[in-house]
Chain A
Amino acid sequence: MFSGLVYIEEDILTHPGTLQILSKLANPQVVPIKHYKDVFNQAGSDWRLQKAAQKIILASRRSHFYYQGSDITPAFGFKHFYYNTLALNCVYDCDYCYLQGMFSSAHLVLFVNNDDFMEQTKVLLQQLQEPVYLALSYDTDLLAIEHWYPYCKEWIAFASEQTNLTIEIRTKSINIKALQPIKPADNIILAWTLSPQEVINLHEPKTPSAQSRIAAIKKAVEQGWRVRICFDPILHIPNAEMAYMKLVDELASQIQLTSIDSFSLGVFRMNQDFLKRMQHQRKDSALLFHVFEKTDDTVSYAKDIKKKLIDVVTNRITHHEKRAHIVIL
Chain B
Amino acid sequence: MRIVLCFAWPAEAKPWLERVNCKLRFQVKHVRYYQGADYDILIAGMGPYHLPAAIGWIQGLIPEDKIWWNIGIAGGKENQLHQWFYISSVTNETGADFFYPEISILPNMPLGMLQTSAQPVSKTVLAAADNLADMEGFAFCMAAQLFASTSRIQLLKWVSDNGVENFDKHSWQKKYADSIDEPLQLIQAHHEKIASMVVATKPDIDVYLQPLLDVLRPTFSQQVMIKDALYFARQYHGNDYIQKKIAAIPQDLKQKKEKNVWLLQLLNELRNV
Measuring CB to CB, which residues of chain A are less than 8 angstroms from any residue of chain B?
2, 4-5, 7, 29, 31, 33-34, 38-39, 42-46, 48-50, 52-53, 55, 202, 236-238, 240, 279, 281-286, 288-291
Determine whether the beta carbon of A34 is less than 8 Å from that of B149.
Answer: no
Known: A31-B111, A31-B113. A46 touches B229 (CB 8 A): no
- A286 to B104: give the CA distance in the assembly, Å: 26
- A4 to B111: give the CA distance in the assembly, Å: 10
Determine if B250 is an interface residue (Cβ-Cβ < 8 Å): no
Known: A44-B149, A49-B104, A53-B104. A29 touches B236 (CB 8 A): no
Interface centre among B88, B99, B236, B273 (most CB of A within 10 A): B273
What 6 A-B pairs are tightest by C-beta distance, nearest first?
A286-B235, A289-B232, A53-B104, A46-B149, A46-B151, A289-B231
Q: Count the A-B residue pairs with Cβ separation under 8 angstroms: how many?
A: 101
Interface centre among A43, A48, A286 (most CB of B within 10 A): A286
Query: Which residues from chain A contact B228 at a C-beta distance below 8 Å?
Result: 279, 289
Query: Which residues from chain A contact B151 at a C-beta distance below 8 Å?
Result: 45-46, 49-50
Query: Which residues from chain B contact A31 at a C-beta distance below 8 Å?
Result: 88-89, 100, 111, 113
B222-236 vs A, CB cutoff 8 Å, 1 = contact: the mask equals 000000110111111
Known: A5-B103, A238-B236. A286 touches B149 (CB 8 A): no
Query: Which residues from chain B contact A38 at a C-beta distance below 8 Å?
Result: 98, 100
Determine whether the beta carbon of A53 is less than 8 Å from that of B194.
Answer: no
Residue in contact with A283 in the complex, picked from B105, B113, B201, CB distance below 8 Å = B201
A214 to chain B, nearest CB (A): 26
Query: Which residues from chain B contact A240 at a C-beta distance below 8 Å?
Result: 273
Can you name 16 A-B pairs with beta carbons within 8 Å? A2-B103, A31-B88, A33-B100, A43-B145, A46-B152, A48-B197, A49-B197, A50-B102, A52-B197, A53-B104, A53-B105, A282-B201, A283-B203, A283-B231, A284-B203, A288-B231
Query: Which residues from chain B contact A237 at a C-beta distance below 8 Å?
Result: 236, 273
A17 to chain B, nearest CB (A): 22
Determine if B83 is an interface residue (Cβ-Cβ < 8 Å): no
Q: Which residue of B lies closest to A239 (CB)?
A: B273
B115 to chain A, nearest CB (A): 13
Residue in contact with B235 in the complex, picked from A5, A45, A284, A291, CB distance below 8 Å = A284
Q: Which residue of B lies closest to A236 (CB)?
A: B273
Query: Which residues from chain B contact A283 at a C-beta distance below 8 Å?
Result: 201-203, 205, 231
Determine whether the beta carbon of B273 is less than 8 Å from that of A238.
Answer: yes
B92-126 vs A, CB cutoff 8 Å, 1 = contact: the mask equals 00000011101111100001010000000000000
Query: Which residues from chain A contact B89 at a C-beta distance below 8 Å?
Result: 31, 33
Known: A43-B145, A289-B229. A52 touches B104 (CB 8 A): yes
- A238 to B197: give the CA distance in the assembly, Å: 26
Interface residues of B in 160-217 (CB under 8 A from A): 193-194, 197, 200-203, 205
Measuring CB to CB, which residues of chain B are less than 8 angstroms from any residue of chain A?
88-89, 98-100, 102-106, 111, 113, 145, 148-152, 193-194, 197, 200-203, 205, 228-229, 231-237, 271, 273
Determine whether the beta carbon of B231 is less than 8 Å from that of A286.
Answer: yes
Determine whether the beta carbon of B111 is less than 8 Å from that of A290.
Answer: no
B102 to chain A, nearest CB (A): 6
Determine whether the beta carbon of B148 is less than 8 Å from that of A44.
Answer: yes
- A43 to B98: give the CA distance in the assembly, Å: 12
Determine whether the beta carbon of B102 is less than 8 Å from that of A46.
Answer: yes
- A34 to B113: give the CA distance in the assembly, Å: 14
Given contacts A44-B150, A50-B151, A286-B232, 14 further A-B contacts (CB under 8 A): A2-B104, A29-B88, A33-B100, A39-B100, A44-B148, A44-B149, A45-B149, A49-B104, A49-B194, A283-B201, A284-B231, A286-B236, A290-B232, A291-B271
B100 to chain A, nearest CB (A): 5
A304 to chain B, nearest CB (A): 12
Query: Which residues from chain B contact A48 at a C-beta distance below 8 Å?
Result: 197, 200-201
Known: A49-B194, A284-B203, A285-B235. A42 touches B150 (CB 8 A): yes
Query: Which residues from chain A contact B99 at a C-beta distance below 8 Å?
Result: 42
Query: Which residues from chain A contact B145 at a C-beta distance below 8 Å?
Result: 43-44
Determine whether the beta carbon of B201 is less than 8 Å from that of A281.
Answer: yes
- A188 to B89: give the CA distance in the assembly, Å: 42
Query: Which residues from chain B contact A55 at a C-beta distance below 8 Å?
Result: 103
Query: Which residues from chain A contact B273 at a C-beta distance below 8 Å?
Result: 236-238, 240, 290
B131 to chain A, nearest CB (A): 10
- A202 to B232: give the CA distance in the assembly, Å: 12
Query: Which residues from chain A contact B88 at a C-beta distance below 8 Å?
Result: 5, 29, 31
- A2 to B105: give the CA distance in the assembly, Å: 8
- A42 to B151: give the CA distance in the assembly, Å: 11
Determine whether the beta carbon of B271 is less than 8 Å from that of A290.
Answer: yes
B79 to chain A, nearest CB (A): 14
Determine whether the beta carbon of A45 is less than 8 Å from that of B106.
Answer: no
Determine whether the beta carbon of B197 is less than 8 Å from that of A2.
Answer: no
Interface centre among A39, A55, A202, A289 (most CB of B within 10 A): A289
B268 to chain A, nearest CB (A): 9
Query: Which residues from chain B contact A52 at a C-beta distance below 8 Å?
Result: 104, 193, 197
Query: Which residues from chain A contact B105 at a C-beta distance below 8 Å?
Result: 53
Query: Which residues from chain B contact A238 at a C-beta distance below 8 Å?
Result: 236-237, 273
Query: Which residues from chain B contact A2 at a C-beta distance below 8 Å?
Result: 103-104, 106
- A237 to B273: give the CA distance in the assembly, Å: 7
